[in-house]
Amino acid sequence: MMRSLWLASIWHPDAIPASEGEYARDVKRWVLPTIDLLLILGSFFGMSGGMPTVLIVYNECVSRTAAALVLAFAVGCLVGVAFPRLWALEFAAKCGLVFILLTYALLATGLSASGDQGRWFISGAVAAAAVAPVWRIIWLGRERRRRIASKEE
C-alpha cells in the first residue's frame, strides 16, 4: 500500500514529465505543499481563536466556521497537489480557499475604510495569500486542456 501511495504521489521521480521542467517540478513538489501546510497550521490557530475580522463583522460561530472551512479547503489542496490524479479535488479546494481568502480581504478592507486603519496590512496580506491559489487554478485549467487535446490527437 505504501508503495502504491509513493507511486501515485507528486514526489515520485516519474510523477512530473521532464517536459514540464525543473521549475514546475519544484513548485509542485515543494512550494504548493508548503503553502498548504502553512494554511493548515494557520487554520488550527483560527479554530481556537477564530478569524478576527470575521468575528468583528459577524460573530464567533461564523468566525470559527470560516476557519474550519479554510482548514478543510487547505487539506483538500494538499491532498490534491500530493496526488496529481486528484487534480479535481485540488481545483475545487483551491476555488473554495480563494473565495474565503478574498472575502476575508474584502471584510478587512471594509473595516479599514471605515476607520480601523490597522486592517489595511491584513487586507493586503490576505489578498496576496490568494494569489498562489488563483495562479494554481489557472495552471490546473491549462493542464486539463492539454490532457484533453492530447487525447483528441
Which residues lie below 8 Å from residue 136, measured CB to CB, with a gap of 6+?
Answer: 32, 81, 90, 94
pLDDT in the model for residue 26:
93
pLDDT in tens, 94-129: 999 999 999 999 999 998 888 878 889 999 999 999
Residue 150 in this model has a pLDDT that exceeds 80:
yes
The three cell numbers of residue 50 are 477564530
User: Which residue carries 486542456 as its cell?
Assistant: 145
- Tell me what the pLDDT averaged over the chain comes to: 91
